[in-house]
Amino acid sequence: MTLLFGFAPFILFALLSRLSADLALWLAFAAAFVVTIRDFVESPSLRLLDGTSLALFGLLALIRGFVTPELSLAIVRAIVDGVLCLAILVSLIRGRPFSLQYASQNSQHHPHWPLPAFLRVNQRISLVWAISFALMTLADSAVAFLSLPLYVGIAVSVVALAAAVTFTLLYPALAAERLAR
């Protein structure tokens, strides 16, 4: 659940972007700031997703506001999806899936945390998010470059996001149940 809170800026952006891309970017930036500060108070280290969201939405808000206001919504969405996808991929390649950072702070103090099973669960969750963002990038890029209707992008985003959220909520319990059996 805490992990989903990390996606709050993106979800806010996705919901508001149809209304106004600028408003969505600035509000997502504000949300990323609040989430980062809140998490930073909890543990004095910057989570990958928080840091990426903060930088990404801040930069995009500035670029679209002052440098290239003509940047289309589809391109902005594709950039956001793509950058978040890349960030998640990097965490996976480094062998420390981003979702691990949302596990209980207390358990992280163990010298040999996480156990392989826990790491595997997090790798799968992170991979699902990476696939989800890759699909969103693909769909929003198709809207931007191949002139597909915007609702295609939105529909893919909704389905991909819903799938990732559902997987995040259900899979850990399922994995724990399997281990307990």
Q: Which residues bind other proteins (CB under 8 A)?
A: 78, 82, 85-86, 89, 92-95, 106-107, 109-113, 115-120, 123, 127, 130-131, 134-135, 137-138, 141, 144-146, 179-181
Instruction: Give the E-state strand segments of the chain in sequence order.
Output: none
C-alpha radius of gyration, the chain, whole number: 17
Angle 165-169-73 from CA coordinates, rounded to 5°? 10
Closest approach, Cβ 137 to other proteins, in A, equals 6
Using the minimum distance from each CB to other proteins, give the nearer residue, 16 or 131: 131
Closest approach, Cβ 104 to other proteins, in A, equals 9
Q: How far apart are CA 54 and CA 36, in angstroms?
A: 8
Torsion 128-131-136-139 (CA) sign: negative
Using the minimum distance from each CB to other proteins, give the nearer residue, 35 or 87: 87
Using the minimum distance from each CB to other proteins, give the nearer residue, 21 or 164: 164
Query: Whose CA is closest to 49, among 110, 96, 106, 3?
Result: 3
Who's near 84: CB < 8 A, 6+ residues apart?
10, 49, 52, 53, 56, 133
Using the minimum distance from each CB to other proteins, give the nearer residue, 35 or 92: 92
Closest approach, Cβ 79 to other proteins, in A, equals 10
Closest approach, Cβ 140 to other proteins, in A, equals 9
Contact 125, 2 (CB under 8 A): no
Using the minimum distance from each CB to other proteins, give the nearer residue, 12 or 134: 134
Closest approach, Cβ 161 to other proteins, in A, equals 15
